[in-house]
C-alpha cells in the first residue's frame, strides 16, 4: 500500500491510499463529529455531520465518504462549517425527542433527577434509558445547542415491545441506518431495513412483522450500535451507563464465544460482541440470557442447610461445614459426584480429584449440555452435584447441591450451596476448535458466593484432606499440567446456534433456561418448557375500564366505572388503584369525574411497573381494586384571580379544580406546561373551563418557552394580581414554581404525590415536612402550601426504592393495548 | 406445644407453633376439671363455654368442639393463636393455682384448626330475616364479631372495608408466622356463608359518610375502624430514607407480600440491620419480621424487660430467633448519610427511677452515656392513635382528647343515635380479643336498638378486657 500526504487544518497528515478523509483525520487524532459513521461499517454519508471544506471542491463534502487524495487541503473547523454542522444537528434534533436539550432548566433537572424515569415511550431525555450514553445528546452539548428554531416532529409510532429481550421506540430514531447496516453485515441479509419514503421513512421489518417472525437471530448488534435510545436491551436499559466492560468467554456451549461484559456495580447486566463482525457475533443466549441467569430475580443468593424438615439460610462457612460433616465417613463407591461441562477445565479436574482422592470413589460423572440427566448406578447413597443434573434422587441418604438457580431437587437436599459461574469464574476453557482460552473472572457475585472449585476446596479443608489448598485456578492448572491432564475440546454444535435461533442452547447446569428467563420461550417452543406459565387470578371487580387511550406519548387516559367514588369525589382528591391482586397500591389523582355515569378518569404516566400495568390495560378490562376518593379536596371559594397550572399528568388533575374555581366565580387562568408541543393535551377541555389558557413548552415549540414559573413571572409583569395558585405535576416542577411563587408572594397550593402504601393515613410512608412539622400527604394532603415544603427531603424520599424498582420490571415481551386511530383523533 | 425450630423459623414466614396433635389435645383436655363455676369463662372477654368445648374434645368430638366455640366466638382459630390467655381465661384456671393451668388457648386453636382442616363448617339455621340493615365500618376483629353475631340474629349486615382485603389488623398487622392469613380468610368466609355482605375498597367517610349510610337505608352502624395512625418518635432524622413506622414495615410484608417480590410488585425493605424501637407486641412482630427478611434485628426499649408490654411468649420467641434486646436504651436521633439514608441511631442509656402515672418505674437518662447503633433501618413501634377518618367526617360524634370515640361503656353506643363503636377506636390500641369482646357487647346493643328502638344496660355487667396488651 502506498502512502499519501495531505493537510487537515494546516497539519500535514500521512495516510494509506484508499482511506477516507475521516479515517485519515481519526488516525491523525483530529476530531470530526460523526453519527452515522462507525468504524465497523462502510461509509454511508447519511447524517452529514462530518462535513468538511476541501480546497478546490465545491460545497461541503462529508469526510466519511470522500477518499483522501494526495495534496488535499482540508479544513474541519471553519466558522462556516461549525455553523453548518450546528444546523445539521438541529435538523437531526428536530426529528428526535430532544426538548430536554434546549430546556432552560436542564442543569437543575439533572442535578435533582440524576436517574431517568422508567417510561414506556421515550418522550424526551428525562424519560430515555439511554440518556447517559446518547451520541446525539453529547453532540448537542458539545455544539451548545440552546435553541431549536425548527419544530420537533414527533411521529407517535407505537412502542414495539412484543419481542423477547428488546424494546424498540422508533420515535427517537434519527435514521442513521447503523442498525440495518450492521444487521446486513453480520447476517448477510438484513432483518431490518429502511421502509417507507420521505418523511415517513423509518426502520422496520418487512411487512411489519415481529422480529421473532422475521427470522431475527437476536444477536443484539443493532442495540449495541444504535447511537440513540431507539433500540434498547429490556433487561439492562434502566441500570444506566455500565461502569466497566471487560472481556471473557461464554461457557454455555462449546463454541465459547468471546464477549464483552457490561458491568454495573460488578453485576453482569449485558454482554456485547467484542467487535462488530460476523466472526464476533453472539447468539441470544450469550447476548441476553447469560446476564439474566446471573442477575435475574431467580438467582440463588443464599446458602442453605437442612435442619429437621426444613432448609434454613446459612453463611458460607456454616454451609461448608455442614457439607463437610455430612460427607465425613461417606467415602467409598457409594458416593457420586455429578458436574456439568459448562465450566472451566480446572473446576472439572478439581471436582474429579475430590471424588477420587477425598471421597475415594470412582463415580464421577459429567452431564452433557443437552439436558439429559445422569442416571446413577446402583448402590449410590451420597450425592454431590453442581446443578440439577441427576434423575431419580429416591434412595439417596445424603444430597449436597451447589447451584446458581433454584430446582425441585433442592427441596430434598441436605445442603444447598450458592455457587458462582459463567462470567464470574476464571480458568481455562477449551473451545470446540481446540483453542485453550484463559478466562478472567470479570463479574463479581455477592460476597458470600464463590465458584464450585473453591467450595470443594473449602469442604476438603474442613475434612482435613490434603491437596486442596488452591487459591487460584492458575495453581490448579499448574498441577494439571504437571500431571499431564489433557484439555479436551467440546463438540462443535451443528447446526450452529449463531445461525438459527431454533438451535440455541437450552440447558444450563441441568436447568431449562427458558424456565428461568421467560422471554426465551418466544424462541424455544413452549411445549418443551417444564414450568407451566402461571395465570394470574384476578378477582371479579366492578372497576371496569370503559375507555382507555394514550392521549399523548407515554400519557394514558383511563376512564373507570366506580360509582361510589364518582358520586362523592371533589376536585383535588385521588384514588388508590391496584391493577391486579399482586400490584402495589398506587395513588392517582382524579382528573375528571362523571357523577351521572358513575365514572372517574385518570391521567397517568408510565414510569415503572405499576403505572405500566395500568398503561397496558384496555377498554373492557377490569382493575382489581380502586379505593377512594382519598385526601382533602381543594377549598373552593371565591378568591379573585386563580391560576391553575399543570404539567405532565397534572394537566389532567387541574381540570376539575379549574372548573370548580370558575363555577365559584373566580377569574381562572390555566397554564399548561409540556416539554414540547407533541406532549400537550386537553387544551380544549381546559379552555372550556377557564378565562385564559396559557401554553408553555420547554423547547418553545408552542406558546411561551420555559416553564410555569416563567409564565407566572410574565403574568405578574403584565400586572396580574394572582390571589391563589394551584400547581400539579412532577415534584421537580412544583419545587421550581413554588420557589418563584414564594418570591412573588403568590399563595400557592401544590398537590404532592410521594410514595404511598395504604393511602388512608395508616403507614406514614408519605410523610412530608412543612417548616419542620411532619404531615401525611394521604390524609392531610395532597395539597400543601408550596412555600413551606421541605423540597430537598421530599425529592430524596422519592428515591427510596430506586434500585429495587428496576428489578420489578417484567422482562417478557408484551403487546401494547390496542389503541385505534379513531380514538386517538378524538381529541 | 411443638414448635418450629428457632434456627429454621428465623428464616421463614411459616407459623411458629405447630399446634396440638390429636393425642396431645386429648391428654390436655383430660386435665380440665370441668368446674361447676368455671373461672375461665369469666376471664374470657367473649364468654366462651370453655369447659363445654374442652369436654367435647375429651370425648373425641373435635368438630363439635369447634362448633361450640363458634357459638360465642366468630374467630376461634384466630383467638386461639393471638389471645393473651395467660392473663385471661388461663389466669383464672384452678389448675394454675398449684401448677400449669389447662392450656385453653391451644385447645381452642386445635379444635378450630381441626374443623378448618376437615372443612367442617356448621352454618347455623338462621332465624327469619328481620329486615333490619346494619352497616359495619371496618373489618377488623371487632367488626367481624359484630357482623357474625348480628347475622346469626337474622339481620342484614354489610361490612365496609377500606383496604382491598378483609380482616383489618389480622391481615396487615399480625405477621403470617403468628397468624396464617388463610386461617383469617377461612373465618371470614364463614361470615359470608352467614349472609354477610362484604364491600372492600370502600372508604366510609370519603365515599358515603356515616350519616349518608343511616339516611340511605341502614338502621344502625357500627364503627370499628381501629387505631391506625402511627406514632413517630419525634426525634431528629425521622424522615430519612430507612425510617418506617411499624405499620408500614408490617403492611408491606403482610398485606402486600413484599417478601415475595418481584412476583408481588410492592418493593421490599432490604436491610442489613434493623432497629425496632418499642417493647410491645407490634415491636416484637416487626423485629421478628426483620429477622426473617435476613437482617440483624435489634430492639431498643427504654425501660427494662419487666416493663415490656409485649407478651412474655412473644419476647421469648423473638430472643430465641436471634433478635437482640437493648434494654434501658432510648433513641435520641436518627443519623443519615449524604443521600438521606439512615446509617445509625444515636441512643442514650437509661436507668429506672420512681414509678410514674402508669405505675411503671420511669426511665431517666444517664448523662454522658450516648452511643450510636449502626443500622440502615429504624422502625419506631410506639403504638398507634385512633383512625381519624370517621370522627372527621361525622360532625356530631364525640371524641376524647386522644381521638377515641366516647361511648357508653356498657352498651358501646356513641354520642350519635344509632351509631355504635368498639375495638381500638374506643379503647385506643389494645388486643384482638378485647376488640372482639367489645364487638359482642355492641352486637347485643345494636340488636336491641334495631328491634326495640332503645338501648338498655345489660343486667349483669359484662367484663371487658382491660389489659392494654395486644
pLDDT tens digits, A164-174: 999 999 999 99
Residue ranges matching CATH 3.50.50.60 in chain B: 133-228+385-452, 232-382
Interface test with B, best of A762, A772, A810 (most B CBs within 10 A): A762
| CA proximity to B310, closest of B467, B434, B433 | B467
Domain B133-228+385-452, classified CATH 3.50.50.60, yes or no: yes
Residues β-bridged to residue A5: A14
Per-residue pLDDT tens digits for B359-391: 778 889 999 999 999 999 999 998 888 888 888
- CB-based contact B201 A626, cutoff 8 Å: yes
Inspect the interface and report whether the beta carbons of B8 and A307 lie closer than 8 Å: yes
Same domain, yes or no, for A585 and A672? Answer: no
- What total number of domains does chain A contain? 5
pLDDT score of A822 more than 50: no
pLDDT value for A271: 95
Percent of chain B with pLDDT over 90: 40
* Predicted pLDDT of residue B460: 52
Place of cell 401494547: A816
Q: Do A807 and B251 touch (CB under 8 A)?
A: no
Residues A791 and A646 in one domain: yes
Last residue of a domain, one of A109, A127, A145: A127
Q: How far apart are CA B424 and CA B213, in angstroms?
A: 22
User: Is the CB of A800 less than 8 angstroms away from the CB of B230?
Assistant: no
Average confidence (pLDDT) over A304-324: 85
Residue B386 in contact with residue B403, Cβ under 8 Å? yes
pLDDT (tens digit per residue) in A673-712: 999 999 999 999 999 999 999 999 998 889 999 999 999 9
Q: Do A625 and A683 reside in the same domain of the chain?
A: no
Closest-CA distance, B158 to chain A, in angstroms, reads: 15
Same domain, A397 and A335: yes
Residue range B242-269: mean pLDDT, rounded: 89
Q: Please report residues of B whose CB lies closer than 8 A to that of A769.
A: 239
Q: Which residues of B touch A789 (CB under 8 A)?
A: none
**A383: enclosing H helix or E strand:** strand A382-385
- Is A597 within the bounds of a domain? yes
CA dihedral A749, A753, A759, A762 (to 10 degrees): -80
Residue A665 shares a structural domain with residue A804: yes
> Which pLDDT score, from 0 to 100, does residue A525 have?
59
- Preferred mutation among B16, B185, B267, B277 to probe A, highest tally of A CBs within 10 A: B267
Digit-coded pLDDT (tens) for A744-789: 999 999 999 889 888 888 888 899 999 988 999 988 989 999 999 9
Whole-angstrom distance, CA of residue B272 vs CA of residue A687: 53
Q: How confident is the model at residue A659 (pLDDT cuts 50, 70, 90)?
A: very high
Q: What is the pLDDT of residue B469?
A: 38
Confidence of residue B83 (pLDDT cuts 50, 70, 90): confident
The answer to whether residues A608 and A552 belong to one domain is yes
Question: Which tens digit of pLDDT belongs to each residue from A511-524?
Answer: 999 889 988 888 86
Is the residue at A84 inside a domain? yes
What residues of A are in contact with residue B271 (Cβ under 8 Å)?
A: none
The pLDDT assigned to A651 comes to 93
B232-382: CATH, from 3.40.50.300, 3.30.470.20, 3.90.180.10, 3.50.50.60: 3.50.50.60
> What CATH number is associated with residue A586?
2.40.30.10
CB pairs under 8 A between A and B: 137
Compute φ and ψ for B182, nearest 5 degrees: -70, -25
A272 and A339 share a domain? no
Domain closes at, from A576, A611, A630:
A630
Beta strands in B191-328 (DSSP E): 197-199, 220-223, 229-230, 273-277, 296-300, 324-326
Q: What is the pLDDT of residues A389-432, one digit of tens each?
A: 998 888 899 999 999 999 999 989 999 999 999 999 999 998 88
Region A306-333: what's the mean pLDDT?
A: 87
Average pLDDT over residues A356-367: 94
pLDDT of residue B431: 84
In a domain, A560, yes or no: yes
Containing A110, the helix (H) or strand (E) segment is helix A106-112
CB nearest A796 (choices: B262, B267, B340): B340
Can you tell me the mean pLDDT for A232-244? 92
pLDDT greater than 80 at residue B463: no
Average pLDDT over residues A127-148: 89
Q: Which of A302, A797, A808 sits opposite B265 (nearest CB)?
A: A808
Q: Which of A564, A758, A797 sits opposite B241 (nearest CB)?
A: A797
Residue that is last in its domain, among A630, A655, A687: A630
What does the pLDDT read at residue B459?
63
Mean pLDDT over the full length of chain A = 89
A661 min Cα distance to partner chain B (Å): 21
Range of the domain at A617: 543-630
Q: Where do we find the cell 408550596?
A: A786
Q: Contact B201/A627, CB-based, under 8 Å?
A: yes
CATH number of the domain residue A288 falls in: 3.30.70.20
Higher pLDDT, A668 or A98: A668
Q: What is the CATH number of the domain that holds A44?
A: 3.10.20.740
- Please give the average per-residue pLDDT across B396-404, as a whole number: 87
Do A22 and A117 sit in the same domain of this protein?
Answer: yes
The Cα–Cα gap between A337 and A357 comes to 12
Q: Is the peptide bond before A782 cis (omega within 30 degrees of 0)?
A: yes
Residue of A300, A763, A770, A794 to mutate, interface with B, max B Cβ within 10 Å: A763
pLDDT at B221 over 90: yes
Instruction: Classify domain B6-118 by CATH number.
Output: 1.10.1060.10
> Does residue A422 sit in the same domain as residue A449?
yes
Per-residue pLDDT tens for A325-339?
999 989 999 999 999
Calpha distance A374→A397 (Å, rounded): 18
Q: What integer pLDDT is reported at residue A734 of this predicted model?
A: 94
Residues of chain B with CATH 1.10.1060.10: 6-118
Are the beta carbons of A560 and A626 closer than 8 angstroms?
yes
Scanning A296-438, the segments in alpha helix (DSSP H) are 316-327, 345-353
- Indicate if A592 and A612 belong to the same structural domain: yes
Q: ipTM of the assembly?
A: 0.88
Nearest CA in chain A to B238: A774
pLDDT for res B465: 40
The answer, yes or no, to whether residue B34 has pLDDT greater than 50, is yes
Cβ–Cβ contacts within 10 Å for residue A297, how many?
A: 12
Chain B residues touching A308 at Cβ < 8 A: 5, 8
Whether residue A823 is predicted with pLDDT greater than 70 in this model: the reply is no
Residue of A nearest to B237 (CA): A793
Q: What is the pLDDT of residues A39-82, one digit of tens each?
A: 999 999 888 999 999 999 888 999 999 999 999 999 999 999 99
pLDDT in tens, B427-457: 887 888 888 889 889 998 999 999 888 888 8
Task: Report CB contact under 8 Å: A757, B256.
Answer: yes
Model confidence band, residue B227 (pLDDT cutoffs 50, 70, 90): confident
pLDDT in tens, B335-357: 999 889 999 999 999 998 888 88
Spatial separation of the C-alpha atoms in residues A218 and A223, rounded to whole Å: 10
Task: Give residue A638's pLDDT.
Answer: 94
pLDDT at A522: 84
Predicted local distance difference test score (pLDDT) of residue B341: 93
Residue A763 sits in the same domain as residue A729: yes
Cα–Cα distance between B257 and B263 in angstroms, integer?
A: 9
C-alpha cell, A795: 425529592
Would residue A344 count as lying in a domain?
yes
Residue A325 lies in a domain: yes
Residue B372 β-bridge partners: B346
User: Which cell goes with A376?
Assistant: 446413577
Q: What is the pLDDT of residue A539?
A: 43
Mean pLDDT of A533-559: 75
- Cβ atoms within 10 Å of B70's Cβ, excluding its own: 24
End-to-end CA distance of chain B: 21
| Beta carbons of A567 and B12 less than 8 Å apart | no
- Is A371 in the same domain as A260? no
Cα A774 from Cα A35, distance rounded (Å):
51
Residue at A328 is within a domain? yes
Task: Give residue A812's pLDDT band: very low, low, confident or very high (50, 70, 90).
Answer: confident
Amino acid at each position: 500500500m502506498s502512502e499519501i500526504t495531505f493537510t487537515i487544518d494546516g497539519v500535514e497528515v500521512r495516510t494509506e491510499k484508499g482511506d477516507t478523509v475521516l479515517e485519515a483525520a481519526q488516525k491523525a487524532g483530529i476530531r470530526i463529529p460523526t453519527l452515522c459513521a462507525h468504524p465497523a461499517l462502510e461509509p454511508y454519508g447519511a447524517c452529514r455531520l462530518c462535513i468538511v471544506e476541501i480546497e478546490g471542491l465545491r460545497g461541503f463534502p462529508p469526510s466519511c465518504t470522500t477518499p483522501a487524495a494526495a495534496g488535499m487541503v482540508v479544513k474541519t473547523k471553519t466558522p462556516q462549517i461549525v455553523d453548518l454542522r450546528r444546523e445539521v444537528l438541529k435538523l437531526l434534533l428536530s426529528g428526535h425527542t430532544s426538548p430536554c436539550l434546549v430546556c432552560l432548566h436542564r442543569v437543575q433537572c439533572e442535578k435533582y433527577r440524576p436517574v431517568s424515569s422508567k417510561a414506556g415511550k421515550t418522550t424526551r431525555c428525562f424519560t430515555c434509558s439511554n440518556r447517559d450514553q446518547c451520541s446525539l445528546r453529547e453532540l448537542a452539548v458539545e455544539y451548545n445547542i440552546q435553541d431549536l428554531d425548527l419544530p420537533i416532529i414527533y411521529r407517535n409510532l407505537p412502542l414495539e415491545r412484543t419481542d423477547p429481550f428488546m424494546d424498540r421506540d422508533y420515535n427517537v430514531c434519527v435514521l442513521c441506518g447503523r442498525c440495518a447496516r450492521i444487521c446486513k453485515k453480520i447476517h448477510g441479509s438484513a432483518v431490518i431495513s429502511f421502509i417507507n419514503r420521505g418523511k415517513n421513512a423509518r426502520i422496520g421489518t418487512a411487512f411489519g412483522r415481529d422480529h421473532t417472525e422475521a427470522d431475527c437471530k437476536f444477536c443484539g448488534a443493532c442495540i449495541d450500535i444504535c447511537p440513540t435510545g431507539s433500540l434498547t436491551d429490556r433487561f439492562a436499559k434502566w441500570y444506566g451507563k455500565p461502569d466497566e466492560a471487560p472481556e471473557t468467554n461464554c461457557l454455555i456451549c462449546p463454541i465459547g464465544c468471546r464477549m464483552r461484559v457490561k458491568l454495573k456495580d460488578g453485576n453482569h447486566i449485558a454482554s456485547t460482541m467484542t467487535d462488530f463482525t460476523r466472526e464476533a457475533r453472539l447468539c441470544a443466549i450469550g447476548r441476553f440470557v447469560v446476564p439474566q441467569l446471573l442477575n435475574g430475580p431467580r438467582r440463588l443468593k443464599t446458602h442453605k442447610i437442612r435442619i429437621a424438615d426444613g432448609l434454613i439460610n446459612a453463611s458460607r462457612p456454616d454451609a461448608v461445614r455442614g457439607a463437610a460433616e455430612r460427607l465425613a465417613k461417606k467415602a467409598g463407591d457409594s458416593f457420586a459426584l455429578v458436574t456439568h461441562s459448562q465450566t472451566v477445565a480446572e473446576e472439572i479436574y478439581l471436582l474429579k480429584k475430590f471424588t477420587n482422592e477425598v471421597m475415594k470413589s470412582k463415580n464421577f460423572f459429567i452431564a452433557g449440555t443437552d439436558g439429559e440427566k445422569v442416571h446413577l448406578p446402583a448402590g449410590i447413597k451420597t450425592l454431590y452435584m453442581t446443578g440439577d443434573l441427576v434423575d431419580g434422587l429416591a434412595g439417596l441418604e445424603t444430597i449436597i447441591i451447589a447451584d446458581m438457580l433454584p430446582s425441585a431437587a433442592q427441596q430434598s437436599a441436605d445442603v444447598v450451596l450458592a455457587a458462582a459461574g459463567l462470567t464470574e469464574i476464571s480458568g481455562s476453557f477449551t473451545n470446540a476448535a481446540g483453542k485453550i482460552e484463559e478466562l478472567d473472572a470479570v463479574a463479581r457475585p455477592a460476597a458470600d458466593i464463590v465458584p464450585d472449585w473453591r467450595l470443594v476446596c473449602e469442604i476438603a479443608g474442613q475434612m482435613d484432606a490434603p491437596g486442596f489448598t488452591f487459591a487460584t485456578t492458575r495453581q490448579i492448572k499448574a498441577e494439571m499440567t504437571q500431571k499431564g491432564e489433557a484439555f479436551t475440546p467440546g463438540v462443535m454444535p451443528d447446526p450452529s446456534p449463531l445461525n438459527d435461533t431454533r438451535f440455541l442452547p437450552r440447558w444450563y447446569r441441568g436447568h431449562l433456561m427458558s424456565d428461568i428467563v421467560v422471554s426465551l420461550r418466544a424462541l424455544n417452543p413452549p411445549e418443551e418448557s417444564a414450568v407451566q406459565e402461571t395465570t394470574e387470578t384476578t378477582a371479579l371487580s366492578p372497576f371496569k375500564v370503559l375507555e382507555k387511550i394514550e392521549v399523548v406519548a407515554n400519557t394514558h387516559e383511563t376512564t373507570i366505572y366506580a360509582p361510589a367514588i364518582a358520586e362523592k369525589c371533589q376536585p383535588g382528591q385521588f384514588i388508590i388503584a391496584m391493577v391486579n391482586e399482586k400490584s402495589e397500591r398506587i395513588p392517582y389523582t382524579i382528573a375528571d369525574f362523571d357523577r351521572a355515569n358513575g365514572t372517574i378518569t385518570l391521567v397517568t404516566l408510565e414510569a415503572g411497573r405499576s403505572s405500566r400495568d395500568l398503561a397496558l390495560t384496555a377498554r373492557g378490562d377490569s382493575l382489581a381494586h380502586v379505593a377512594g376518593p382519598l385526601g382533602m379536596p381543594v377549598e373552593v371559594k371565591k378568591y379573585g384571580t386563580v391560576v391553575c397550572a399543570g404539567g405532565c399528568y397534572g394537566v389532567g388533575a387541574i381540570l376539575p379544580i379549574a372548573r370548580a374555581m370558575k363555577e365559584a366565580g373566580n377569574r381562572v387562568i390555566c397554564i399548561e406546561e409540556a416539554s414540547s408541543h407533541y406532549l400537550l393535551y386537553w387544551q380544549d377541555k381546559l379552555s372550556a373551563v377557564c378565562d385564559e389558557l396559557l401554553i408553555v413548552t420547554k423547547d418553545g415549540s408552542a406558546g411561551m418557552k420555559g416553564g410555569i414559573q416563567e409564565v407566572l413571572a410574565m403574568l405578574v409583569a403584565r400586572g396580574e394580581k394572582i390571589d391563589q395558585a394551584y400547581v400539579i405535576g412532577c415534584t421537580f416542577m412544583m419545587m421550581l414554581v413554588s420557589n418563584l411563587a414564594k418570591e412573588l408572594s403568590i399563595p400557592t397550593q401544590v398537590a404532592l404525590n410521594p410514595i404511598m402504601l395504604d393511602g388512608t393515613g395508616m403507614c406514614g410512608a408519605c410523610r412530608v415536612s412543612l417548616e419542620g412539622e411532619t404531615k401525611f400527604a394521604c390524609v392531610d394532603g395532597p395539597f400543601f402550601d408550596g412555600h413551606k415544603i421541605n423540597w430537598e427531603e421530599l425529592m430524596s424520599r422519592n428515591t427510596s426504592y430506586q434500585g429495587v424498582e428496576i428489578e420489578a420490571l417484567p422482562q417478557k415481551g408484551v403487546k401494547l393495548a390496542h389503541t385505534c386511530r379513531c380514538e386517538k383523533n378524538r381529541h | 406445644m411443638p414448635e418450629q425450630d428457632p434456627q429454621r423459623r428465623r428464616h421463614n414466614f411459616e407459623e411458629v407453633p405447630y399446634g396440638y396433635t390429636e393425642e396431645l389435645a386429648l391428654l390436655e383436655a383430660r386435665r380440665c376439671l370441668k368446674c361447676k363455676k368455671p373461672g375461665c369463662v369469666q376471664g374470657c372477654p367473649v364468654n366462651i363455654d370453655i369447659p363445654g368445648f374442652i369436654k367435647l374434645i375429651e370425648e373425641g368430638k373435635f368438630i363439635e368442639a369447634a362448633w361450640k366455640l363458634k357459638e360465642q366466638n366468630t374467630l376461634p382459630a384466630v383467638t386461639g393463636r393471638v389471645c393473651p390467655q395467660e392473663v385471661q381465661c388461663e389466669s383464672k384456671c384452678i389448675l394454675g393455682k398449684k401448677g400449669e393451668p389447662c392450656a385453653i388457648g391451644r385447645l381452642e386453636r386445635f379444635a378450630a384448626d381441626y374443623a378448618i382442616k376437615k372443612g367442617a363448617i356448621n352454618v347455623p339455621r338462621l332465624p327469619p330475616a328481620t329486615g333490619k340493615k346494619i352497616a359495619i365500618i371496618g373489618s377488623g376483629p371487632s367488626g367481624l364479631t359484630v357482623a357474625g353475631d348480628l347475622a346469626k340474629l337474622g339481620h342484614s349486615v354489610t361490612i365496609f372495608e377500606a383496604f382491598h382485603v378483609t380482616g383489618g389488623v389480622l391481615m396487615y398487622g399480625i405477621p403470617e408466622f403468628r397468624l396464617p392469613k388463610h386461617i383469617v380468610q377461612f373465618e371470614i368466609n364463614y361470615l359470608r356463608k352467614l349472609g354477610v355482605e362484604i364491600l372492600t375498597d370502600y372508604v366510609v367517610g370519603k365515599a358515603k359518610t356515616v350519616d349518608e349510610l343511616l339516611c340511605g337505608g341502614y338502621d344502625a352502624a357500627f364503627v370499628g375502624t381501629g387505631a391506625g395512625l402511627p406514632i413517630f418518635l419525634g426525634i431528629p432524622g425521622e424522615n430519612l430514607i430507612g425510617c418506617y413506622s411499624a405499620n408500614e414495615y408490617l403492611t408491606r410484608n403482610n398485606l402486600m407480600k413484599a417478601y415475595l417480590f418481584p412476583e408481588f410488585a410492592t418493593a421490599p425493605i432490604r436491610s442489613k440491620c434493623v432497629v425496632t424501637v418499642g417493647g410491645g407486641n407490634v415491636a416484637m412482630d416487626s423485629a421478628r419480621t426483620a429477622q426473617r427478611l435476613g437482617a440483624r434485628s435489634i430492639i431498643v426499649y427504654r425501660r427494662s424487660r419487666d416493663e415490656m408490654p409485649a407478651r412474655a411468649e412473644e419476647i421469648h420467641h423473638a430472643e430465641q430467633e436471634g433478635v437482640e434486646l437493648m434494654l434501658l436504651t432510648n433513641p435520641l436521633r436518627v443519623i443519615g448519610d449524604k443521600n438521606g439514608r439512615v446509617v445509625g441511631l444515636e441512643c442514650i442509656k437509661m436507668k429506672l427511677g420512681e414509678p410514674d402515672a402508669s405505675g411503671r418505674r420511669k426511665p431517666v437518662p444517664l448523662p454522658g452515656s450516648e452511643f450510636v447503633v449502626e443500622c440502615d433501618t429504624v422502625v419506631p413501634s410506639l403504638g398507634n392513635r385512633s383512625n381519624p377518618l370517621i370522627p372527621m367526617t361525622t360532625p356530631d360524634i364525640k371524641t376524647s382528647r386522644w381521638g377515641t370515640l366516647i361511648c357508653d361503656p356498657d352498651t358501646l353506643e356513641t354520642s350519635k343515635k344509632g351509631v355504635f363503636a368498639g375495638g381500638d377506636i374506643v379503647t385506643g390500641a389494645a388486643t384482638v380479643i378485647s376488640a372482639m369482646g367489645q364487638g359482642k357487647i355492641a352486637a347485643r346493643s345494636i340488636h336491641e336498638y334495631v328491634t326495640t328502638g332503645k338501648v338498655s344496660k345489660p343486667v349483669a355487667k359484662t367484663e371487658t378486657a382491660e389489659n392494654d396488651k395486644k
